[in-house]
Structure 1
Amino acid sequence: MRNHLLLFTSVALLGLSSCLKIIKPSKDFGQYETPVAPDYGQPASWAALPTRRDSADAVPRNTPFRDQQATAAADVFFVHPTTYYWRKQWNASLANNRLNQFTDDDVIRNQASAFNAAARVYAPRYRQATLYSFFVDDQSTNGQKALDLAYSDVKAAFQYYLDHYNQGRPIIIAGHSQGTVHATHLLHEFFDNNPALRQRLVAAYLIGFKVKTDEYQTLRPCADSTQTGCYVAWNTVAWGNDYPPFQNGVAVNPLTWTLDTLAAPAALNRGGVGQDFNRLDVGVVDAKIHQGLLWVHPPKPSGYPRFLLPGQPQLWHSFHIADYGLFYANIRQNAVARVRAWQGRAGNNQSTLSNSCWSKTFR
C-alpha cells in the first residue's frame, strides 16, 4: 500500500510525546496476534446494510428528513473513520462489541446516514488501525502495517459488495479520516483505470484527509454540484488559520460544490447537524477555500467540536470531527442531486431492476 500522509508532523509529535504514550501500543505490530479477518458473507461483518435496521437508517430528530433506502436508485459504500483509540493492539477486533456500538452510535449515525436519501448504505466493519498509526513513528513501520491490514479488509468488503450486492447499480464512495485514506485507495484500485466501473461512479466524498492535487490519473475533483464520475474533498479549519497536515490538498466548497476561492455565505448552508443528532442548524457556518483548506467562522451552536489535543494549540483550529456535521444537509441534498444527474446522463431510468423486489423484502 502506498505511503499515506501522516496526521501530524514530527514536530507536533515531540510536543505530544507524553500524551501519546496513552494510546501507543506497547509492542511492535508483529508481536500481536492478528485479529480474525471478517467474513463479509456474514451480516455481523457490516456496520450498515440496507436489508436490516441499523444506525445508517437514522435521520436527525426534529427535521423533515426521511430514510429513503427502500426506493433509492444508487448505493453508497461508506468507510467509517477511526473509532479505535486503544493501545491493546495495532488493529481493532471485530469481536469488540463495545467498539462496534460506539462506531454505530457515533459515525455511522452521524455521517453515513447523510446518504440514506440518495442511496442504499453499505458500511463494512474492518480491522481499523488504531489512532496512533497516524503519528510519525521513526522507529518502525508499525503504523503503516496496521493501515495496510485495515485496507485489506476494506478492499475485500468492496469486492464482496460488487460480487453480491451491487447488481450494476450506480455507486457513491464515501469516507472520513481513516475511512477516506482507504476510500482514496479504493478509487485507485477499482476506478481510476477501469472505465467500465468508473461509468458507474456517481461521485466520491473523500472528506477529512488530504487528497493530493495529482492523486489520480483519470479521476478529477468535482467542479460543480451535479458533475458525476468525480470526487469532492475538504478539511474544515477555523477561518484565518493554517493546518499544515492538510494544506494544499484538494478542496471543494460544500456550500457551492465548486473549486473557486470565493467566500460562500452561511445563507447557502442548508443545515448542520451536531453530535447530539437532534436538530438542524440552518446557516450554521459560511465557507471559503484557502490553500487547500476549508475555512469557516466557528459555529455559535454547540455540538461541532474542534480537534483538541493537549499541548498542541496550533492544531486546535481544526474542525475535523465536524467535517460532516457542519454540512450535513448540503451533503444529503448533493448526493441526491448527483444520483439524479447520473441517471440523466446514463439515459437510465434506474428505477432499478431491484427496486420492485427490494421494496417487498426491505426490512
Structure 2
Amino acid sequence: MDMKTAPYLSIPFIALLFWACSTSQEVAVGGNSSVPPAPDYVQPSAWAALPDRKDAADEVPVGMEDHQLDGRTDIFFVYPTIYTQQREENDPWNADIADAKLNKKVDEGTIRFQASIFNGVGRVYAPRYRQANISAYWLRDQELQKRVFDVAYDDVRRAFQYYLDHYNQGRPIIIASHSQGTTHTRRLLKEFFDTTALRQRLVVAYLIGMPIEKDFLQNIPVCDSPDQTGCFCSWRTYLKGHYPEIHKKGNNIANTNPLNWSSDTLYASRELNKGAVLRSFKKIIPKVCDAQVHDGLLWVNKPKFPGSFLFNNPNYHIGDFNLFYQNVRENAATRVSSFKF
C-alpha cells in the first residue's frame, strides 16, 4: 500500500503517536477555541462505517471474507485519536467531523486496519465523533480537560443510543475500541451495560490500548478464556522489559494475552500468532511476535516483519490490534459461536 494513502501506519505518524503516548509532559491551556457542531447520527455522513454501504470496514486481507450481511452480531467500534496535529492557539480542542482530511485518515487508517477485523462476524458500526486532540491528555487545566473529553464521549453516547434505537433490533453486541476510543467505551459499558439488562446482549468488549482496572465494572469480568462471553479484554503492548513512565508494578490493571486469551502470565510463543496486518493491508504476516502478560502490560519481543529494524521505540501502542489481527478476528468468531442467542 502506498504510504501516502496509509497515514495510520506511516513512519511519521507512528513516531508522533509513540511520542504522544509515552510522554508525560503536561500541556498548558492556550487560547479560546470553539467547539465544532455536534454530529447528527441520522445522517450516514456522521458514521465512518455502516454495514449497508461500501466503506473501509468492508475490506479484508487476501483469503478472508466480509460477512457483515450474514453475520449474527453487531460491532460498535470507536476509533483512536487521529486528531494528532499540533494545535495552534485558536484551534478547537475537539475535532470537526466535517474535516474531510481528518476523515480520510480515519477511514484509510483505523477503520481499514482495525474495525475490519470484526467484519467476519457481523455488522460494523463506527461513529464519527468530536475526538479530543491528543494533547488534551496532558492538559494542566483539569476542568477544561474534562469538558473536552465529555464533548467526545457525548457524541459516542448519542451515536450508541441512536444505534440501539434504529439499527440493533435486539442483536448481540461486540464493543471494540482502541486508545481514545477505549477512554470512551469504558464509560459506555459502565452506563449502558454494567447494571442494565443490555448486559445480556454483550458478547465481548475489546477495550484495547488504555489501562482498565480489573474491578472497574461490577458485573462484567475480565475475560480469562477464549470462548468466554459477557466479559472484556484489554491489553497494552510494549517491548519486553519496558515499563511506561506512569506504570506501577503490581497494579490492578486488566490484561488479556491475545495469543492464548488468558490473563495469566503464561508465555505465548510467536508460533501462536496467526497473523498481523501491517503496511500492506492485503497480506497477513504470521508469527510476527510472541506475547506475555506482565504486571498489567503485554510484553512482546521485538516484532519481526519487513522493515521492523526501523522501529526502535519500545511502545507498540500503534500495533495493539494490528500485531494480532488474525487472532482477534478468530477470537471474535469463537466468542460469537459460544454466545447463547
TM range (shorter): 0.7 to 0.9
Whether 1:327 aligns to 2:324 is yes
Whether 1:12 aligns to 2:24 is yes
CA RMSD between the two structures: 2.0
Alignment check: 8 A CA contact 1:305 1:322 kept? no
Whether 1:156 aligns to 2:153 is no
Aligned partner of 1:172 in structure 2 is: 174
Secondary structure of 2:24 counterpart: helix
Equivalent-residue separation in structure 2 for 1:232 and 1:272 (angstroms): 18
Q: CA deviation at 1:262?
A: 0.9
Equivalent-residue separation in structure 2 for 1:47 and 1:188 (angstroms): 24
Identity %: 47
Equivalent-residue separation in structure 2 for 1:306 and 1:67 (angstroms): 33
Equivalent-residue separation in structure 1 for 2:322 and 2:103 (angstroms): 21
Aligned partner of 1:126 in structure 2 is: 129
Q: What amino acid sits opposite 1:274 in the alignment?
A: L
Q: What amino acid sits opposite 2:65 in the alignment?
A: R
Whether 1:283 aligns to 2:320 is no
Equivalent-residue separation in structure 2 for 1:275 and 1:331 (angstroms): 18
Q: Deviation string for 1:134-162 (max 9, x for gaps)?
A: 11x33453222111100000000000000
Q: Deviation string for 1:131-188 (max 9, x for gaps)?
A: 00111x3345322211110000000000000000000000000000000110111000
1:59-78 matched pairs, under 5 angstroms: 59-60=60-61, 63-78=62-77
Q: What amino acid sits opposite 1:138 in the alignment?
A: R
Alignment check: 8 A CA contact 1:275 1:304 kept? no
Equivalent-residue separation in structure 2 for 1:306 and 1:205 (angstroms): 29
Equivalent-residue separation in structure 2 for 1:323 and 1:295 (angstroms): 11
More off after superposition, 210-219 vs 138-147: 138-147
Secondary structure of 1:256 counterpart: coil
Matched residue count: 315
Whether 1:251 aligns to 2:252 is no
Q: CA deviation at 1:13?
A: 1.0
Q: Deviation string for 1:42-75 (max 9, x for gaps)?
A: 0000000000000000112xx3111110100000
Aligned partner of 2:335 in structure 1 is: 338
Q: CA deviation at 1:281?
A: 1.1
Secondary structure of 1:199 counterpart: helix
Q: What amino acid sits opposite 2:25 in the alignment?
A: L
Aligned partner of 1:354 in structure 2 is: none
Point out where structure 2 has 5 or more consecutive residues left out of the alignment. Answer: 1-19
Q: What amino acid sits opposite 2:323 in the alignment?
A: L
1:20-169 matched pairs, under 5 angstroms: 26-27=30-31, 31-60=32-61, 63-86=62-85, 87=87, 88-135=91-138, 137-169=139-171
Equivalent-residue separation in structure 2 for 1:300 and 1:162 (angstroms): 41
Equivalent-residue separation in structure 2 for 1:146 and 1:256 (angstroms): 37
Q: CA deviation at 1:277?
A: 1.2
Q: Deviation string for 1:323-358 (max 9, x for gaps)?
A: 01100000000001111110xxx2x3xxxxxxxxxx
Q: What amino acid sits opposite 1:169 in the alignment?
A: R
Q: CA deviation at 1:212?
A: 1.0
Q: What amino acid sits opposite 1:220 in the alignment?
A: P
Instruction: Specify whether residues 97 and 241 from structure 1 end up closer, same or farther in structure 2 by C-alpha distance, changes over 3 A only.
Output: same
Q: What amino acid sits opposite 1:143 in the alignment?
A: Q
Equivalent-residue separation in structure 2 for 1:54 and 1:134 (angstroms): 30
